[in-house]
Structure formats: C-alpha cells, structure tokens
Chain A
Amino acid sequence: MTVEPSWYLVLSALLFSIGGAGLLVRRNPLVMFMCVELMLNAVNLTFVTFARMLNDTGGQVLVFFVLVVAAAEVVVGLGIIVAILRRQPGADADDISLLKG
C-alpha cells in the first residue's frame, strides 16, 4: 500500500473544513484566528502535494509566499485584537458590531 497524492488532498480538505467550521462556531477572536491558520496550512499542504505530483518547484515557492503573508497577517490582526480588547475587555465576535448596518 503506497501513499497516493490523493490521500494528501483528502487530508488537506478535511483540515480546511475543520478550520472553516471552527471559524464559524467559535466566538473568541483569538481562536477564530487560529482557525484561519489551520485553513492556510491546509492550502499549503495542497500546494506541496501538487508541486511533487507535477514535479514543479512553483508550488513550493508559492507556499513560501503564503508563509510570509500569513506572518504579516498575524502581526496586524493580533495588533487589532489587542487594540479592541484593551478598549473593551472580554469582547467576542458578537460585541464588535459598530459597523453593522
């Protein structure tokens, strides 16, 4: 029994969906952020799988860029969360509704 590329694709689909479900269910902004990281990692796994399958470095280079953008996103996002929670301690996703129409 050899490991097929499709196994990796199914695993990353499961990981992506778990992350998405967590993003929909959890209300703590920090945990929602961690779920976004899970989804990004699922996509990275897909990229690496296709890079090996198609014998092309392009997929791995793209994962590199995803890592950089994820790092920048986490820095700015956590800065925003710190600013919100400092103003309104214990806020969750439902409390941040000033822009709601």
Chain B
Amino acid sequence: MIDTVVFLLAALVVLSGALGVILARNPVHSALMLIMTLFGIAVLFVAQEAHFLAAVQVIVYAGAIVVLFLFVIMLLGVDEADNLETEPIAGQRPAAGVVALASVGLIVLLAVRSMEVSSGAQELSHALDGEGSNLEKLARVLFTDHLFAFEATSVLLVIAIVGAVVLARRPPADQVGDRTSRAGRVR
C-alpha cells in the first residue's frame, strides 16, 4: 500500500516536473523544474532498492549538473522569457506531439514484449539480493568486471575538463571578431 502511494506521488512529481521543463518560458524555471524531476527519479530509485544511485542522482545531477545549467544561464544573461506563442516552422508542434505519442506507444510495446523475453537466464554471480549492501555489490562488480570501463570514464572526464577549458576561454581582445588573423595565429 505504501509502495503504491510512494510510486504514484513520485510519478506525479516526475511527470509534472518534466512538463514544467518543456512548458516554462523562462530557462531558470525550466532548470528548477528539472531539479523536481530529478528528485522524483531519486525517490523511484530508492523504491527500487538502488540506494547508491539515488544518492549519486541527487549529488551529481541536482547538485552539480543543474547548478552548472543555472551558472550558464546567469553568466550569459539569457534568463528573459522565450516567446512560445509563435511557431517558427508551420505544423512543428502537432508533428512533435504525434512523434511523442508514437514513441510512447512503441516503447510501451517494446517493454511489454521484453518482459516476456527477458525472463530467461539470470546471472547468478551478480545477484542484487542476498548478503551485503547495495553499494558493496555495485562496487564489487564495478572494480572487477567493469574495471576497464571505469578507467576509461576517468580518461573521458579529464578530456571533458580540458575541452571545457578550451571552449570557454575568452579569446584575447584584439582577436575578437577577426577570424582571419586568428586562424593565421593558430597555424
């Protein structure tokens, strides 16, 4: 009974937050609605006994990624409301609605089908239930079977940091808007 109530409340939070993201005119409101959705997802993770991922969801997504979004919005000063009345391409919104409805139908169909198919062989060595905490089991798999992928993600993060620094660097004042001299200097 409590499970059902928790699921329904979290689902309401997730869906209303998601609709808020795409319907809010102001990007700041979109970002706040995104936080609401992320918290709802974290609640659903806890309900499915993924405690570590719920914590990471709140810390990384709500704590870091959305704050980064808000920083960029404030930095660029694009927090004025978008004009949502005009439709730049004729018939774009009805088409998007049709695509969204079709994708809901297809994904639900796929999920129902996969529930029948995926009841076969289960991997016994990495079971989620049994002794130990969720974090312990996750760490054991992560640092044995997926060690290479884990190291690769660390390289990926370093590359992302370097890329962000290069992209966000402000060019020297004499080169702004002067593409030819800039390209010459790079060569």
User: Could you list which residues of chain A lie within 8 angstroms of chain B, going by C-beta atoms?
Assistant: 1-3, 5-22, 24-28, 30-31, 33-35, 37-38, 41, 44-46, 48-58, 60-61, 63-65, 67-76, 78-83, 85-86, 89-90, 94
Contact = CB atoms under 8 A, between A and B. Distances in A.
A57 B141 contact: yes
Interface of B is mostly: helix
18 contacts: A8-B44, A10-B111, A15-B18, A21-B97, A24-B92, A31-B21, A44-B57, A48-B44, A48-B45, A55-B122, A57-B127, A58-B123, A65-B149, A68-B153, A72-B160, A78-B164, A79-B163, A86-B76
Given A11-B11, A67-B60, A61 B141 contact: yes
Contacts of B129: 55
B92 A25 contact: yes
A1 B142 CA distance: 35
B138 A74 contact: no
Given A11-B11, A25-B22, A55-B122, 15 more contacts: A14-B104, A16-B107, A19-B22, A25-B96, A30-B27, A45-B45, A48-B45, A49-B48, A53-B118, A54-B118, A58-B141, A60-B53, A64-B53, A70-B65, A83-B167
A30 B64 CA distance: 16
A8 B168 contact: no
B111 A69 contact: no
Size class of the contact patch on chain B: 35 or more
Interface of B: 1, 3-4, 7, 11, 14-15, 18-19, 21-22, 27, 30-31, 34, 37-38, 41, 44-45, 47-50, 52-53, 56-57, 60-61, 64-65, 68-69, 72-73, 75-76, 78, 82, 88, 92-93, 95-97, 99-101, 103-104, 107-108, 111-112, 115, 118, 122-123, 126-129, 134, 137-138, 141-142, 146, 149, 153, 156-157, 159-161, 163-164, 166-168, 170
Nearest to B29: A31
